[in-house]
Amino acid sequence: MDLEQLKKLMEKERRELNRMATLHGLRDERVLDKSSRLDRIMDKYLHTKRAINGDNQAHP
């Protein structure tokens, strides 16, 4: 998955998380699961971005 796809997925998951938190509350297990999923996507985004930036710095 490229950075743009990950960014769009993060935005989608964030919207869903906000909607779920409003409906079910912040301590609901489904909300916590969605939050964990968003965290994993964000980690993947940052890892991918660092890898790309590292490649760009290695090849000026």
Please report the domains of the chain, with CATH numbers, ordered by start residue: 3-58 (4.10.280)
Residues of the chain with pLDDT > 90, as a percent, come to: 85
Distance (Å, rounded) from C-alpha 32 to C-alpha 20? Answer: 10
Where do the H-state alpha helices sit in the chain?
Answer: 3-24, 29-58
What single-letter amino acid sits at 5?
Answer: Q
Torsion of CA 38, 39, 44, 49, to 10 degrees: 100
Q: What is the mean pLDDT of residues 33-55?
A: 95
What per-residue confidence (pLDDT) applies to 1? 87
> Tens digits of per-residue pLDDT, 6-24?
999 999 999 999 999 999 9
Distance (Å, rounded) from C-alpha 9 to C-alpha 47? Answer: 15
20 φ, ψ (degrees, to nearest 5):
-65, -40
Mean pLDDT of the chain: 94
pLDDT for residue 41 is more than 80: yes
Taking the model in full, what pTM does it have?
A: 0.85
